[in-house]
Structure 1
Amino acid sequence: SLLGELDRVEEVAPGVYGPYEKLLPDGRRLACVSAVVRDEDGKPSAVLCVNLDRTPLDQAAQVLAAFAAPVTPQPQVLFERDWTERVNQVIGAFVRERQRPVEQLTRADRLTLLAELDRLGVFSQRRAVPLVARALRVSRSTVYALLAEVRRR
């Protein structure tokens, strides 16, 4: 930067300006900070400029913004045969609705949830009980006992 250009930039500390933006001929953006270097008499003799290519930061911001964007629902066709995904969806919706984690579900909550999973045919799948037990953070025997109670009703 030329010393005269710094007159248009806000001084953030004595003799330090920026960060301000500069553009390269290829369109990349730079974040720049300039400091006036003074001689023994205190007169400006040079400007030390530090320039940072913002391209990687801009790319990272785009990736993060994509994650922050509203999430589109999963295509139903894609997951209709994946019963484990369905279990996760049902349990996730249930705990969000109750606004508490699975560890804090009451016995009545667990019975309601297992009844819904049973209605959806989850327990007709091989290895469903261990999957549900892990998801609910209870033992398999607890799931079997609760499921037996649900089916007696």
Structure 2
Amino acid sequence: MTPEQVAPVGEVLARLLSPHAEVVLHDWVADRVVAIWNPLSGREPGDPSLLGELDELSESGRDAYGPYPKVLPDGRRLSSVSAVLRDEAGTAKYVLCVNVDRTAFETASRLLAAFAAPVSGQPRVFFEHDWTEKLNEHVADYVRERGVPVERLRREDRLELLSRLDKAGVLSQRRSVPAVARALQVSRSALYQLLSEARKEPHADPA
């Protein structure tokens, strides 16, 4: 096994993870950096590898390590993995390390967390006159109570719901009929008939 044989692996990993990862090929025996792609740490080929800790780990029989944390001199945090590469005789020859800069991911995580944070209630000054909002709320509350979707409401259910909308002032608004008809999934003519019946006498909740 030679560094030239391993180099394509390091190069494609660096291309895949660029610009967020550094890929380093170490010579286990010489304890030197053999090759490096996207050098976030500023190291160069020929620099000391400082892989002394892996000498002890090699006795465990494992050849894959991580992810484990590392820190760059400028304070950026990395998540790293390392793979020991052995020759045909099973002797450790090289170590391939991938060091991923977590900065971009942590920034994105904070941004998403901020968007997912609980929001305050709707300012009443903006919505107290929005009858379409009131319409949607009443319909949503009613179908939750009944446990059925709008399209499966019975005639008695629609009459009861219309009574509630009428009492809430929704049906007294201009151009409310088309919106209510869409919300109840009925035609305008059917809505007028239901509304006429609902206004004749009160309707008890259906059993």
| TM interval, short-chain normalised | 0.7 to 0.9
- Cα 1:44–1:57 change in 2 (3 A) is same
| CA–CA separation in structure 2 for the residues paired with 1:76 and 1:7 | 67
Find the residue that maps to 1:18 and give its secondary structure.
strand
Task: Give the RMSD, CA atoms, in angstroms.
Answer: 2.9
The one-letter amino acid paired with 1:96 is: R
- More moved, 50-59 vs 63-72: 63-72
Aligned structure 1 segments of 4 or more residues deviating by more than 6 angstroms: none
1:45 and 2:45 equivalent? no
1:83 and 2:131 equivalent? yes
Q: Give the gaps of 5 or more residues in structure 2.
A: 1-48, 202-207
**Which structure dedicates a bigger proportion of its chain to helix?**
1
> Deviations along 1:24-50, whole A, 9 cap, x unmatched?
445444332221122343222222122
The residue number in structure 2 matching 1:115 is 163
| CA–CA separation in structure 1 for the residues paired with 2:56 and 2:156 | 68
Q: Give the gaps of 5 or more residues in structure 1.
A: none
Q: How many residues align?
A: 150
User: What TM-score does the superposition give when structure 2 sets the normalisation length?
Assistant: 0.59
Bigger CA radius of gyration? 2
> Deviations along 1:71-90, whole A, 9 cap, x unmatched?
54323222101111111111
Matches within 5 A, 1:1-153: 2-5=50-53, 14-66=62-114, 69-70=117-118, 72-153=120-201
User: What TM-score does the superposition give when structure 1 sets the normalisation length?
Assistant: 0.77
State whether residues 2 and 47 of structure 1, in contact with CA within 8 Å, keep that contact through their aligned partners in structure 2.
no
> Deviations along 1:65-112, whole A, 9 cap, x unmatched?
456555543232221011111111111222222232212222222111
- Cα 1:38–1:93 change in 2 (3 A) is same
| CA–CA separation in structure 2 for the residues paired with 1:8 and 1:75 | 63
Give the percent of matched residue pairs that are identical in Structure 1 and Structure 2: 61
